[in-house]
Structure 1
Amino acid sequence: MPIQYQDQVSLLKDILSDHQSECCGTVAECEQLERVLKSLMANSQTEAQAKNVFENIYYYSQSGKNSASLDEHIESHQDQLSQWIQDIDNLT
């Protein structure tokens, strides 16, 4: 059973918050981000402004998944992570 829109947004925020607070993550988390983001971007409930934020996070997750050092990738995106979390709070 697919998870609801708001639950997907909460999951997205939870993973980003973990990356921000712990400065580390896993390839599996990046892959989970990608799956959730694809679903959110395809959802008719998602506003254009939110899609722009989600596209940026999707690029972050793809880059992280393919990075030689995921932890360094996460550390180098701390400012963006903070902004995305704030953006998600403003969207919901």
Structure 2
Amino acid sequence: MPLSHHDQVTLLKDILSNHQTDCCGSVAECEQLERLIKSLMVNNQVDQNVKSILQEVYHYSQTGAQTADLDGHITAHQENLSQWVDDIGQFS
């Protein structure tokens, strides 16, 4: 059974919050973010403001999945992670 767009947004926010709180993550989480974002970007129910944030998060997850220092990448984006979670929460 596929996740609703609301469930996808919740999962997206959970992963970003975990990265922000724990200052670490996995390549699998970055890949999950990419899949969630691809699905949300084609969904007409998703607010256009969220889609612009999703593009930033997609770039973050792509870079994170390819970096040799994922924890450093996450730490460097602490402010962005917090802002993205807040912004997505406002529009979803």
Which TM class, normalised by the smaller chain length?
over 0.9
Task: Output the CA distance in 2 between the equivalents of 1:44 and 1:17.
Answer: 25
Percent of aligned pairs with the same amino acid: 55
Q: CA deviation at 1:47?
A: 2.0
What residue in structure 2 maps to residue 63 of structure 1? 63
Secondary structure of 1:29's aligned partner? helix
Task: Output the CA distance in 2 between the equivalents of 1:47 and 1:5.
Answer: 11
What residue in structure 1 maps to residue 50 of structure 2? 50
Q: CA deviation at 1:46?
A: 1.4
- Corresponding pairs, count: 92
TM-score between both structures, scaled by the size of structure 2: 0.97
TM-score between both structures, scaled by the size of structure 1: 0.97
Q: Mark the runs of 5 or more structure 2 residues left unpaired by the alignment.
A: none
What residue in structure 2 maps to residue 23 of structure 1? 23
Equivalent position amino acid for 1:33 in 2: L
CA RMSD of aligned residues (A): 0.6
